[in-house]
Chain A
Amino acid sequence: MRSGSITGVRIAGLSAAVPESVRSPVEDDAVFGPDTAEKIRRVSGVIRRHVTLEGLCTSDLCFVAGESLLDGLKWERSSVDALIFVTQTPDYFLPATGCMLQNRLGLARTCAAFDVNLGCSGYVYGLWLASALISGGGVRRILLLVGDTVSRIVSPEDRSTAMLFGDAGTATAIEAGDADEGMIFELGTDGRGRDKLIVPAGAFREPHNEMTGLRSKCEGDNLRSREDLYMDGSEVFAFSIREVIPLIRSVQSRAGWSTDSVDALVLHQANLFMLQHIAKRTGFPWEKVPSTLESFGNTSSASIPLTMIVSLGQRLRTDSLKLLLAGFGVGWSWGAAALTCDPMAVLGPILVRDRTESDSRPDDSEAADVPPFSGKT
């Protein structure tokens, strides 16, 4: 899908929140042995990552990011027309986590809220959805919350996944505005990728039973269950060569931007080897390809906005930047965008204390400004 230029939409601000706890190289060495762990670090580029140890949910992280962003922008809660929550690690199968976030953030009951189940490509899809909704009329302000807690679906003893993923939640405030230049999107899907990045059991195709959670040895020493994330790394790499390199060239060409004029190519933070190969093949100097793998790992849908905040935050606050974004992976699903960002608010990453037992349900009294539901329309 190739969009035309979507105009009249601007990003007003970005924020991110990550768990306070950091998984260190020493801990990984203890599980996998220092030689193996070091080899994985070298290829993936992930040295340490923020992970929840006590069951923080993506919605908790996105709540913190969203709350701080709304306060920072001084957006009236009632002015948010829609909330889009992009995640593959929701609180529940149902209700949609977006609904609970509407309540928790104190948004109006006239706010449209929904979830989008995408990972690596999720941020670009979220930006596209938000822009299309605003440009279509009737919607002025959208809060796009994007994140994942992948550490919670990975087996800690699976060498192919355990050391790669971090947790993060982000918020992007998008509104109707006078952006001089439009945003261009290019999106795609190839469902043949289904089996290459998947949590096979626990939903409805292969429901949970007493066997699905049992970890057993797979391809050598990797210990994994049907309810843990499976990833075929070489197929993911082959996919990125096949689809992502042409995707970036295409969207850059349609934007009419020379490589010199692009301020940054922000890629989904899959792994360092892949990012370096993509940069080389698309002709972007490494200085223009920011990476947060070293300190945050692969944060799935959050990785693009998190990288914008951590690596480009200062410039995003003061300058107008021409950015190419590309998110790609699980599905297979992919999306790229070319956009010019005017100076915006940038907050975080905020460190979030891990949960305690008393935090098991989000406190509804945080939504104090919302009148209690009386049961009458």
Chain B
Amino acid sequence: MDFEPFLSDLAQLFSVEIGELTDEFVLDTNKNFDSLAIISMMALMDDHFGCEISGEELRNCKNLGQVLRIIESSKES
């Protein structure tokens, strides 16, 4: 699965270099993963993959890897 375009948009969203967006990239609801970041991520997941996710599921993701696994499994079903 090609995550490149999605990661490119995420890099802009989080204001980081794309190289920093590894599976271990931390999503902290008190810092970089506030409500605006969450809905922006939802929009990007919908735009790139047609992937729907609830706010609660997304808030429970502690790192980027968990989000990418959710996207992968949504495509399998």
Do B43 and A235 touch across chains, with their CB atoms under 8 A apart? no
Within B23-77, which residues are at the interface with A (CB < 8 Å)?
A: 35-36, 38-40, 42-43, 46-47, 52-56, 58-59
Pick the residue among B36, B40, B55 that contacts A235 (CB under 8 A): B55
The answer on a CB contact under 8 Å between A277 and B36 is: no
User: Which interface residue of B40, B43, B53 has the most chain A CB atoms within 10 A?
Assistant: B43
**Would you call A39 an interface residue if the criterion is a C-beta within 8 Å of the partner chain's C-beta atoms?**
yes
Answer whether residue A238 sits at the interface, using C-beta atoms and an 8 A cutoff: yes
Q: How large is the interface on B (under 10, 10 to 19, 20 to 34, 35 or more residues)?
A: 10 to 19
For A364, the chain B residues whose CB sits under 8 A away are: none
B55 A281 Cβ-Cβ under 8 A = no
Find out whether the CB atom of A241 lies under 8 angstroms from the CB atom of B36: no
Complex Cα gap A108–B62 (Å): 62
Task: Give chain B nearest CB distance to A162 CB in angstroms.
Answer: 14
Whole-angstrom distance between the Cβ of A173 and the nearest chain B Cβ: 38
Tell which of A160, A238, A274, A277 touches B55, judged by Cβ atoms closer than 8 Å.
A238
Choose among A241, A274, A281 the residue with the greatest number of B CB atoms under 10 Å from its CB: A241
User: At the interface, yes or no: A43 with Cβ under 8 Å from chain B?
Assistant: yes
A18 to B52, CA, bound (A): 37
Once the chains bind, are A234 and B38 in contact (CB under 8 Å)?
yes
Neighbouring A residues of B47 by C-beta, 8 Å: 277, 280-281
Q: Are B35 and A234 in contact (CB under 8 A)?
A: yes
CA distance A238 to B46 in the complex (A): 10
Give min CB distance, B55 to chain A, whole Å. 3
Q: How far is the CA of A281 from the CA of B55 in the complex (A)?
A: 19
What residues of chain B lie closer than 8 Å to A160, measured between beta carbons? Answer: 35
Minimal Cβ-Cβ distance residue in B for A40: B36
A42's nearest neighbour on chain B, judged by CB, is B36
Interface residues of A in 266-289 (CB under 8 A from B): 273-274, 277, 280-281
Q: How many angstroms from the CA of A36 to the CA of B49 in the assembled complex?
A: 31
Q: How far is the CA of A276 from the CA of B42 in the complex (A)?
A: 13
User: Is A237 at the interface (CB under 8 A from chain B)?
Assistant: yes
Bound-state CA distance A237–B54 (Å) is: 9
A237→B42 contact, CB < 8 A:
yes
Q: Which residues of A contact B53 (CB under 8 A)?
A: 238
- Residues in B with CB closer than 8 Å to A233 are 35, 39, 55
Q: Whole-angstrom distance between the alpha carbons of A43 and B37 in the complex? A: 11
Q: Is the CB of B35 within 8 A of A281?
A: no
A74 at the interface (CB under 8 A from B): no
Contacts of A39 in B (CB 8 A): 36
| Contact between A273 and B46, CB atoms less than 8 A apart | no
B25 to nearest A CB, angstroms? 19
- Once the chains bind, are A241 and B42 in contact (CB under 8 Å)? yes
A232 touches B36 (CB 8 A): no
Pairwise interchain contact B46-A241, C-beta atoms closer than 8 A: yes
Taking CB atoms, residues of chain B closer than 8 Å to A273 are 39-40, 43
Is A242 at the interface (CB under 8 A from chain B)? yes
Interface residues, chain A, with chain B CB atoms under 8 Å away? 39, 43, 160, 232-235, 237-238, 241-242, 273-274, 277, 280-281
- Chain B interface residues toward A at CB < 8 A: 35-36, 38-40, 42-43, 46-47, 52-56, 58-59
Between A and B, 7 residue pairs with Cβ closer than 8 Å are A39-B36, A43-B39, A235-B56, A237-B42, A238-B55, A241-B42, A241-B43
Known pairs A160-B35, A237-B42, A241-B42. 7 more at Cβ < 8 A? Answer: A43-B39, A233-B39, A234-B35, A238-B42, A238-B54, A277-B46, A280-B47
